[in-house]
């Protein structure tokens, strides 16, 4: 059994985007609160982490590095950062490779590189006109230290001649095309803004009489803040000593919230569309049973952890017992060390270990939330058969993934996706399963109690909500010679 090094990643689906957080709180330990908020958002990005903080009216201090939140920050780091306001970021690269220069928050200092103001910025999403904006800024004399589209946003705001950061956002925001849930700080305020389609999540919370913003509500839970609601698509939110100001900058032409956030990306204890995702994912499992029962099955197991809620829902609707047939090692992070020939035959056992006493002799329904390339799923099926499973029926609580995302998620190309130009029956043969079924797109919307007209489901349907998406530049566009002007590396 061959082992793809990507399969050693603790999460098997599309690579997550990023997580952002921002707070203005002179009466709170803002760097410490930001650390724990990022800790709660770690699932959204595991390549790098960073915090920028400032005393009200002082200079911005930024610390960022490759690694997990608890690897990047220690107690003395948080004490050194201090501050009255802060922004934080966890990253998986979507535009630009995994290098220190591309970690966030992006820090632009006043008086250099064309900057008129100092700021730090954290961004979740992906610009589809990054190359165009980058070229314009370079021609205007603005320099760059990275190859991420997030620095393009930061540079546009830092170099704008307006008197305030709010004025800069009002001018720059209509020029940005794509997905951008963004938090930016100067030395006296935190400003958050969201693309007019609202593709990626961004929510507003309150801590005492202070305000904060985050990618997901689970970041508020860990610090004791209360969820107020969404930062609306096209809206700018400003948080400072004057309190909270909100303003719609660009009218929303069509809400296009990413439906895959419900299925996979967001934490199950986060709330979206007025519902906790654990409950929505359970309903996906129930609907999946209704649409695709597995006659003769006698046990439901999940591919942990992301398949757990849907597996419980499937078992509940089917009236079947559920058990843990696969035990996951939750302490293995992504490793770039090749396992070597001796360990290669053990396949995914660095991460999953089947229990013969549970699955032996059983006809299994195995529930997972998605299949991308199929490498991991194929190896899991073989492990279960080796452990004595009589039958393996795969049930997936997402429709077939057939299209890449250009809005802040790093997916495989169409040709790499196992569902590309294949029927479920053909995929089942490749995976070695007795049967395979996916939930329908209609079933997903029923489960999340949402309207197709207000969501983006392009990774399933190919219907991209933004014009020009198909010709958007790829993840490494700023590194592959697409940009005619050279980048200045830090």
Q: Could you give the C-alpha distances from 240 to 119, 190, 192, in angstroms and in order?
A: 15, 7, 12
Tell me how many degrees the CA angle 267-270-273 measures, rounded to the nearest 5: 125
Integer Cα distance of 4 and 12 in angstroms: 12
Of 237, 282, 264, nearest to 399 by C-alpha is 264
Integer Cα distance of 65 and 144 in angstroms: 18
| Residue 153, Cβ density class (10 Å: 0-12 exposed, 13-18 middle, ≥19 buried) | buried
Q: Is 448 helix (H, G, I), strand (E, B) or coil?
A: helix
Which residues are known binding-site members?
258, 306, 368-369, 405, 456, 459
Of 86, 102, 29, 76, nearest to 53 by C-alpha is 86
The percent of the chain in helix, strand and coil, each rounded to the nearest 5, is 30, 25, 45
The answer to whether the peptide bond before residue 305 is cis (omega within 30 degrees of 0) is yes
- Residue 305 in contact with residue 328, Cβ under 8 Å? yes
- Residue 194 in contact with residue 234, Cβ under 8 Å? yes
**CA 276 and chain centroid, separation:** 17
Q: Which residues does 45 contact at the CB level (< 8 Å), separation at least 6? A: 16, 17, 18, 19, 89, 90, 91, 92
Residue 367 region by backbone torsions, left for phi larger than 0, else alpha for psi between -120 and 50, else beta: beta
Beta bridge partners, 204, equal 213, 229
Residues with active-site annotation = 18
Which residues are known binding-site members for [4Fe-4S] cluster?
258, 405, 456, 459
Which residues are known binding-site members for Mg(2+)?
306, 368-369
């Amino acid at each position: 059994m061959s082992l793809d090094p990507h399969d050693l990643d603790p999460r098997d689906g599309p690579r997550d985007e990023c997580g952002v957080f921002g707070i203005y709180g002179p009466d709170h330990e803002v760097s410490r609160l930001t650390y724990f908020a990022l800790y709660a958002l770690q699932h959204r990005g595991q390549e790098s982490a960073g915090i920028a903080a400032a005393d009200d009216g002082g200079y911005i201090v930024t610390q960022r590095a490759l690694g997990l939140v608890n690897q990047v920050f220690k107690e003395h780091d948080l004490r050194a950062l201090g501050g009255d306001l802060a922004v934080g970021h966890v990253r998986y690269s979507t535009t630009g490779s995994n290098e220190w220069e591309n970690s966030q928050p992006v820090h632009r200092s006043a008086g250099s590189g064309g900057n008129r103001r100092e700021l730090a910025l954290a961004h979740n999403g992906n610009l589809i006109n990054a190359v165009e904006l980058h070229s314009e800024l370079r021609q205007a004399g603005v320099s760059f230290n990275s190859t991420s589209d997030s620095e393009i946003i930061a540079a546009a705001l830092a170099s704008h001649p307006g008197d305030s950061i709010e004025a800069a956002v009002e001018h720059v925001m209509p020029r940005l095309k794509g997905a951008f849930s963004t938090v930016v700080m100067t030395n006296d305020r935190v400003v958050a803004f969201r693309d007019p389609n609202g593709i990626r999540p961004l929510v507003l919370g309150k801590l005492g009489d202070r305000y904060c913003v985050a990618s997901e509500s689970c970041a508020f839970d860990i610090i004791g803040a209360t969820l107020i609601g969404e930062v609306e698509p096209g809206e700018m939110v400003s948080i400072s000593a004057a309190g909270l100001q909100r303003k719609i900058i660009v009218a929303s032409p069509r809400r296009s919230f990413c439906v895959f956030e419900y299925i996979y990306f967001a934490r199950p204890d986060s709330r979206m569309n007025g519902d906790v995702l654990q409950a929505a994912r359970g309903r996906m499992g129930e609907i999946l049973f209704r649409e695709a029962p597995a006659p003769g099955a006698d046990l439901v197991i999940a591919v942990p952890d992301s398949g757990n809620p849907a597996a419980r829902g499937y078992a509940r609707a089917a009236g079947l017992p559920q058990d843990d047939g696969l035990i996951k090692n939750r302490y293995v992070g992504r490793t770039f060390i090749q396992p070597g020939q001796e360990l290669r035959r053990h396949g995914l056992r660095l991460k999953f270990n089947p229990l013969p006493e549970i699955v032996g002799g059983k006809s299994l329904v195995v529930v997972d939330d998605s299949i991308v390339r199929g490498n991991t799923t194929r190896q899991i099926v073989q492990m279960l058969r080796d452990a004595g499973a009589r039958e393996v029926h795969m049930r997936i609580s997402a429709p077939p993934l057939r299209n890449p995302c250009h809005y802040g998620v790093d997916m495989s190309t169409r040709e790499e996706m196992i569902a590309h130009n294949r029927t479920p029956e053909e995929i089942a043969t490749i995976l070695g399963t007795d049967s395979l079924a996916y939930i329908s797109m209609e079933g997903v919307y029923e489960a999340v109690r949402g309207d197709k007209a207000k969501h983006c489901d392009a990774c399933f349907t190919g219907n991209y909500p933004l014009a020009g998406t198909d010709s958007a530049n790829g993840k490494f566009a700023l590194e592959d010679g697409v940009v005619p002007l050279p980048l200045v590396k830090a």
